[in-house]
Structure 1
Amino acid sequence: MNSTDLGDEDTEYEVTLRFRPDGPAVLGIRSKPETAETVFMEWLGLYGQAGTVLTFTATSNGETRPVKGWTYEGGLRVTGAA
């Protein structure tokens, strides 16, 4: 997946980090997919441990779509372009 294919200037990209499933979230909202991708990978390297849930989503026209996800147990999932 090429992150430049994710959307247009009206798309918002969100990276969410939880240290346990359904726990409190740390959010990073970005306007560029490349920046969100960088944050996702940095957070994965820093905080990727058992129990951590990391997601990367894109929201456009009120519709949120998953782009990537990661859990220690399941590994990296690329779920599609936004």
Structure 2
Amino acid sequence: MIQHRKATVVGSTVLQDQDVEAEYEVTLRFNPGGPAVLGAWSQLETAEQVFMEWLGLYGREGTVLTLTATAGDATCLVKSWTYEGGLQAVGAV
């Protein structure tokens, strides 16, 4: 992982304020529980851009798209999208 900002994990919220290694992962599944396409970035802005691009390209019935943040040993769901549920902002970064 690449040095980024400090992430303090509180419940499902990641607060960034100092230096620490952080990684943001976007996961795309065409069917719930099916095989996944993964991408990981050190910058939240890049991961969010890819999340929205993949949503525009592949967002249809059955698709599951998630964005997670990992800092140290803690991982939290930042946002997710399904056709049925729409966009859900779960954790704040």
On whether the aligned pair clears a TM of 0.5, the verdict is yes
The equivalent of 1:10 in structure 2 is: 21
Give the Cα–Cα distance (whole angstroms) in 2 for the partners of residues 40 and 28 of structure 1.
10
What is aligned with 1:30?
Answer: 41
Distance 1:25 1:9 in 2: 28
Superposed CA offset, 1:23-78 (max 9, x none):
00000100000000000000000000000000000000111100000000000000
Task: Decide which moves more: 17-26 or 7-16.
Answer: 7-16
1:9 Cα offset (Å): 4.8
Q: What is the rounded CA distance, in whole Å, between the counterparts of 2:34 and 2:15 in structure 1?
A: 27
SS of corresponding position for 2:21: coil
1:74 maps to which of 73, 85, 93: 85
- Percent identity for Structure 1 against Structure 2: 67
Aligned to 1:43: 54
Of Structure 1 and Structure 2, the greater helix share is in 1
TM-score by length of 1: 0.89
TM-score normalised to structure 2 length: 0.79
Aligned counterparts of 1:51 and 1:43: Cα–Cα separation in 2: 14
Unaligned runs of 5+ in 2: 1-13
Work out whether 1:58 is the aligned partner of 2:69: yes
Counterpart of 2:3? Answer: none
Kindly indicate which of the two structures has a greater share of residues assigned to strand: 2
Take 1:6 and 1:46, find their aligned partners in 2: how far apart are those partners? 30
State the Cα RMSD in Å.
1.5
Structure 2 counterpart of 1:19, which letter? F
